[in-house]
Every structure is written in structure tokens, then in C-alpha cells.
Structure 1
């Protein structure tokens, strides 16, 4: 087997960014191995010609096998917001991924991270991404940390409420301040592109969308998409717990969300806070994502 015939491994294909990464690689004719926990989830990818590996992110043996004999891998650390030990779980996944990458002698990784992962504290959930970066960085494996901006798809439940009631709630404030946001399809396609670059060493790439958007802008876009008035409502911190009741967050996850959102709102979490990062931008406008989200809610 030649080096060029070895597959690229993609984790997270049951989620948005992993699916987009695998899709981009397959469309460009590259061999792909998708990693799933349940073989049934791999069937659609097998039908497209991908190899399917079954692995548990906390099991070293299955992870090492999934990462063996590859050109590179896109790795993610899914976050378990219903667990009280979500940070401990995130470290276990990071440690297992790191040990498996070394054991399998993976030539390079692209690891999904988040803006704010360069900050030591005050980032809430993003601390899990920082753990992922730090543990992988200790391995010596060539790794690109892909720090994505706020996902455009995070607006899905709020768009659903706007469809039903004409009110668009937001945790982000002040409502007139633009924030970098990115579509998950751009995250996945960027991960695929970075894998194909075959660069060596460790680096950080930040990824935003084609422009920044304020909550006021989003309300206007949702209003235009639905062709009806939409009122933006900025939720006070005292209301966050009630607003998130349907998400079934653990107490630890809710505390992490609160700290992260505070960090976003006071600009402590800033896409430009790491001067050594390389800036990339996706091409998908928020208008397109909002239109897709609204269609699903109707």
C-alpha cells in the first residue's frame, strides 16, 4: 500500500463538522476512514466508499487501530453536557486520543478547537478545548488546532422560537456588537483542506465566517427569512437557567455555559487574542444558514 492510498481518518461524522470534512475529502477523490461508535452509523459512509472503523473515544486499543496506517486524521472531542464530570470526561478523551495518535504513529492531525482556547481561565466550556490542545500538543505529533468561531447553527433553537412566536431570544450582548460566526460546513471543509496541506509542526488556525454579525443583524435576517416582524430579546443572566431548561444541562455544564457566555459578552473570548494564530475565513453567509434552519422549523 502506497502512502497516497492510505486513508484520511475523520471523527465526528455523526455531527456537522465531521460529516462536512468526510464529505469534502470523498468529493475530492481521497480515501477516507470514518470512525463511529456504532457500526450502523457508518453505513451511509460505507455506501459512498469510505472505510468504517468502530471505536470508543475512551478506549486506547480501538482508537489506536482506527488511527493506524493513515495519511492524517481530523479529531474532535465531543462534549457531554448532561454529565457532571464533563471536564473529566473531556480530559479522558484528550488523553486517549493523544496516546493513540502516538501509538499509531499518525503523521499529522487537525484537531477541532475553539476561539478562546488560548485563555487560561474565564472561558467555561472552552476549557475542554484547551485541555484537548494541551494534551495533543504534548505528543510531538504535527497538529493544526482549528479554533472555530461561534457556530452559526447555535441559533437553531432561537430561530425555532422566532418561527413560533416572532421573538428571537439571545444570550449574547450587547445586541449591536458584531461577533465572528462560522458555518459548520466551513469548519469541516477547512479541516479537510488543512489535512491535505501536509504541513508539519504545530500551528493554530482561527476560522470565522465571511463577515461578523451582531444579534440585531440576526434578528433582521430571521425577519427577512420568515417575512414577518421578529423582536430580539436579550436574556438577562438571571433568566439563562430557565431558558436552558429544555437542554437538560448538568449543573457543571450550566456553570460552564454561564462562564463562557460572560467571556463572549465582555470580549475576554476574542478570535484575535492569540497573535500567533493564522486567520482563515469561511464562505458561507449566515443568511443561508438561517434559511436552512427556518425551513427545518416550519
Structure 2
């Protein structure tokens, strides 16, 4: 039995789908009962669990021979770092109560660094706490997800300006599609389920075959939409205001600011000891998939005005 946490999200859903297509039994763990229908249609067993309830998590992984764990950053929480650390601690308690033979944890580029990387420091905490929690342990570190651009696509389509916190605009950075992360995770789960126990975690990094810049994102969006789109580097002193305007609280905004400061200083990248894998999805593929929804958001926004 493969147990997938975060199965309703794009990464977990891709993992569950790949495993079910290969004929493997999957238990999909979701927080909201309404999220289970599509996964049940794939043939998944559905488990509901509060991610902060160690007992519920232990029940969800009972009998598993491999577990995929995703610990989400709680966007709406006043103190997302404290909330995520509490969720990580609950997961650790569950894994010690019902140790899975094989465990894959979804992590981030830069997770080897203990400080100064904003949100990524939470994945350092996750990796540090997880060591020793399973006989076979894999950290799958993903580059920045391409679908993060969905948040600003309606603005870019309406105003012709793509705001970016990546500075300078021509700086290349790694990205990856969520489905590529999920499908690779499924492959690694299958590997881990057949591997012998080992003392040190396996570290795998995944990104798309080509790195991109904010200029590349704007050019690709212009090509796909047929509308003029220019990349705009949001001035550093305006970042907090922009993030607050997007609905982020003070502490969450601070985590994002620190993350992009680290990105722009070249501190977020592949650790030399990791295995490198590359996803097949291109930036153009991902933006083409995101555009219809972004155009719909833009249309609805105009109708309200």
C-alpha cells in the first residue's frame, strides 16, 4: 500500500494517478472530505486526517510499505512558520509511532541551508527532523513550481505587465511543473519500496530541462495570448506592500521576501550531493494550461467593475 499525503493537490494527485495506472494500491490522505471523490474514482482508498493530529496520521499510514509526505505552508495562518513546524512535529510523532519502511518527503531547492532562505528554512527543519524516521528515506527537492505564475497571470493579461520578484529580469532560475514532480515522486516511491535500508537519506533534485528568466515568462505569455506583455521588476522596497495586497500577512510576507532575496543572491540552487532529474514539461506547456483559467478570472473581474 502506497500512502499519499496531499493527494488532492497537483503533486500528490499526479503521484496517486501514476501509481494507480501502474496497478498499485493507493491510500489518498485528504483533509477535507469533499476532496476525496476524484481520487476515489481513480480507485484510491480515501483517508481523512487532520495534519496536526499525530494519532490520525499514524492511523492513515498504518500498513503502508511506502509513504509520500507533503507538508503544506499554511498560507492563511498568522504565523505560517510556527504552524508548519507544528505540522511537521505531528508527522514526526506519527512516523515514530507507525514507522513506514520507506518514506519520501517533498522538499525544496536550498533546503540544506539552515537560515536566510525564508520559506525554504521550513524545509530544512523538515529534513532535519525526518532523519531516522524511516528505514529508507528520500528527500525530493523541487525547483520553483511553474504554476506559481498563475497568481499574476490575470494582471499580466489585463495590464500587459508581468510583475516579478526575480531580479534582474534576465537572471535564469530553475522551475518545474507540479505533475513532473508528482510523477517522479511515484517512481522514487517504487524504488524506495524495493531498496534495502540505508543510513543516509537519498536526495533527489528535479527541475525542467531549461532554466528560464522573468523575461522568458513574459515573452512566452505574450506568444500564447497574442497580447503585449512586458516583465516588470517590482522594486525591492515595494515587495512587502505588493505581498500584503495579495492577501499575505506580515510574517508570511517576510518569509517570501527572505526567499527571493536568497534567490536573487544565487543561494537557492541544486546541492552538489543530490541526484539530478529533469521534468519533460516546458514553461510554454504549463502557461498554455494555465491561461484559460487566468483569462476567465480576468473576464469575471471586468464584469464586476
Alignment TM class, shorter chain as reference: over 0.9
Say whether 1:281 aligns with 2:278. yes
| Runs of 4+ more than 6 Å apart | none
The residue that corresponds to 1:245 in the other structure is 244
Say whether 1:182 aligns with 2:170. no
The residue that corresponds to 1:163 in the other structure is 157
Shift of 1:62: 0.7
State how far apart, in whole Å, the 2-side matches of 1:38 and 1:162 are. 32
Q: Is the 8 A contact 2:75 2:252 kept in 1?
A: yes
Q: Aligned ranges for residues 106-125 of structure 1 at < 5 Å?
A: 106-125=100-119
Say whether 1:100 aligns with 2:81. no
Within the candidate set 10, 26, 30, 2:20 is matched to: 26
Shift of 1:99: 1.9
Could you list the runs of 5+ residues in structure 1 that have no partner in the other structure? Answer: 1-6
Shift of 1:163: 1.3
Say whether 1:294 aligns with 2:288. no
Q: Is the 8 A contact 2:8 2:39 kept in 1?
A: no
The residue that corresponds to 2:211 in the other structure is 212
Instruction: Report the TM-score when normalising by structure 2.
Output: 0.91
Helix, strand or coil at the partner of 2:28: strand
Q: Is the 8 A contact 1:101 1:141 kept in 2?
A: no
Q: Is the 8 A contact 1:143 1:203 kept in 2?
A: yes
The residue that corresponds to 2:231 in the other structure is 232
Helix, strand or coil at the partner of 1:179: coil
The residue that corresponds to 1:268 in the other structure is 267
Q: Aligned ranges for residues 52-201 of structure 1 at < 5 Å?
A: 52-198=46-192, 199=195, 200-201=197-198
Is the alpha carbon distance of 1:84 and 1:138 closer, same or farther for their aligned partners in structure 2, counting shifts above 3 Å? Answer: farther
1:213-271 CA deviation, whole Å, 9 max, x = no partner?
01111111011001122111110111212322343212111111100010001101222
Shift of 1:139: 2.4
- More divergent stretch after superposition (52-61 vs 84-93): 84-93
Q: Aligned ranges for residues 252-263 of structure 1 at < 5 Å?
A: 252-263=251-262
Could you list the runs of 5+ residues in structure 2 that have no partner in the other structure? Answer: 296-305
State how far apart, in whole Å, the 2-side matches of 1:48 and 1:100 are. 26
State how far apart, in whole Å, the 1-side matches of 2:173 and 2:136 are. 30
Q: Is the 8 A contact 1:116 1:126 kept in 2?
A: yes
The Cα RMSD (Å) is: 1.3
Q: Is the 8 A contact 1:169 1:233 kept in 2?
A: yes
Aligned length: 290
Within the candidate set 37, 43, 48, 1:49 is matched to: 43
Q: Is the 8 A contact 2:17 2:42 kept in 1?
A: no
Instruction: Report the TM-score when normalising by structure 1.
Output: 0.94
Shift of 1:140: 4.6
